[in-house]
Chains A and B, each alone.
Chain A
Amino acid sequence: MNGMTTMPAMVTLRHALGMDEPDPVTAGADDATRLACWMLNAIRPWPEAARNVMQALLMAHREGRIGSAEWRNLRSAAVALSDDRDAEVRAFGHVAEAAAWPLATARAGLVEMMQAICQLRAQQMARATGWTEEDEQAAHVILAEIEAGDGRMQPRREDIPALFMAANPALEKRFCVNLTAANAAFGAFKAEVAAWIAGAAR
Chain B
Amino acid sequence: MPNVTTILPGHENRPETADPVSSEALQLLVFSATWCGPCRAMAPAIDDIAQDYAGDLVVVKIDIETSPDLAKEFDVRGVPTVITHRGGAIIDRHVGGMTRTRLALMIEDALKRGDAAE
- A-side interface residues toward B, CB under 8 Å? 75, 78-79, 94, 97-98, 100-101, 105-109, 111-112, 115-116
Contact = CB atoms under 8 A, between A and B. Distances in A.
B102 A108 contact: no
B17 interface: no
Interface residues of B, number: 13
B105 A106 contact: no
Contact of B48 (A75, A94, A106): A106
Interface stretch (B23-31, B39-47, B60-68, B69-77): B39-47
Contacts of B100: 97-98, 101, 106, 108-109, 112
B101 interface: yes
5 contacts: A79-B101, A79-B105, A97-B100, A97-B102, A108-B45
B111 interface: no
A109 B101 CA distance: 10
Nearest to A95: B99
Contact of A97 (B44, B48, B99): B99
A98 B48 CA distance: 12
A75 B47 contact: no
B99 A94 contact: yes
Contacts of A97: 99-102
Contacts of B52: 105
Interface of B: 41, 44-45, 47-48, 51-52, 99-102, 104-105
B102 A111 contact: no
A116 B44 contact: no
Contacts of A108: 44-45, 47-48, 100
A115 B41 contact: yes
A98 B101 contact: yes
A116 B105 CA distance: 18
A100 B101 contact: yes
A62 B104 CA distance: 24
Given A75-B104, A79-B105, A111 B44 contact: yes
A112 B47 contact: no
A116 B98 CA distance: 11
A107 B52 CA distance: 11
Contacts of A105: 48, 51-52
Contacts of A78: 101
Given A94-B99, A116-B99, A107 B104 contact: no
A26 B52 CA distance: 27
A100 B100 CA distance: 9
B41 A107 contact: no
A157 to B, nearest CB: 13
